[in-house]
Amino acid sequence: MTAQQVKPGDVTLERRGHVALVTLDRPQAHNALTVAMLARLAAVVREVNADDDLRVLVLTGAGSRAFSAGGDLGELIPRLTAGEVDVLIPDPTKRFFSDFYKPVVAAVNGLCLAGGLELLLGTDVRVASDRAVFGLPEVRWGLVPGAGTHVRLPQQISWPNAMQLLLTGETVDADEARRIGLIGEVVAPDEVLPRAIQLAETIAGNAPIAVRTAKEIAVRAWANEQRFGLESALNARVLASRDAREGPAAFIDKRTPRYENR
């Protein structure tokens, strides 16, 4: 078992046999994603992908309060609304874990909101704490979840449930998330990571080529590249609006947004 030494607010990689444990490590900010963290996560995923000894990736958030509360509204969103969309999505036809065919097990230990939920949608097997909360609040702040959610969410749960999450900005608890098929298991908080590791080790014990191929067939059969491209193009329209600047500003100032529909 080895762990890389990293600074707080980074993304850590720990090797546990054939399992790669990847942790979003910014607990003081509910593991909100910065530009540096997104770049580091992409680098870690490439590293795991290139290591034949690592067969399964487990993704979790540091601390007990959050998997991830989404993108850092003070740093990431201003760059996106300024037109730097590539800091989040370098390739408009790809999303989190798009070309990563090793299985990804999510261990959700608290808030899973906005970009955090978008990360979750790129995972394959999902274990959550009975205290976990899930939601897509972007429309409340003049934004849309542009990292694949409009495509992946209706593929993974029913259309009415997907649209209710997308259009209301409301949250659901772990039991409801399991009922609608967003997650697979709900366990006590102290059992989340052990159960995720257990599932990962079970998967890692199977034939690696067969496991990777099973996932690749399932992912590639959706042929989502064109759909992701459409989302990217229309998300750019939202990010260019005045409302997309007003919403995050209101969130930071802790006031009600004043939207102009422009």
How many angstroms separate the Cα of 210 from the Cα of each of 17, 205, 207, 215? 19, 11, 5, 9
| Digit-coded pLDDT (tens) for 181-231 | 999 999 999 999 999 999 999 999 999 999 999 999 999 999 999 999 999
| Digit-coded pLDDT (tens) for 87-103 | 778 899 999 999 999 99
Catalytic residue among 47, 75, 84, 138: 138
How many angstroms separate the Cα of 48 from the Cα of each of 20, 111, 137, 243, 251? 7, 26, 31, 39, 36
| Digit-coded pLDDT (tens) for 134-158 | 999 999 999 999 999 999 999 999 9
How many Å apart are CA 137 and CA 168, to the nearest integer? 8
Q: Active site includes 47?
A: no
Catalytic residue among 118, 170, 191, 225: 118
**Which pLDDT value is given to residue 9?**
67
Q: Active site includes 260?
A: no
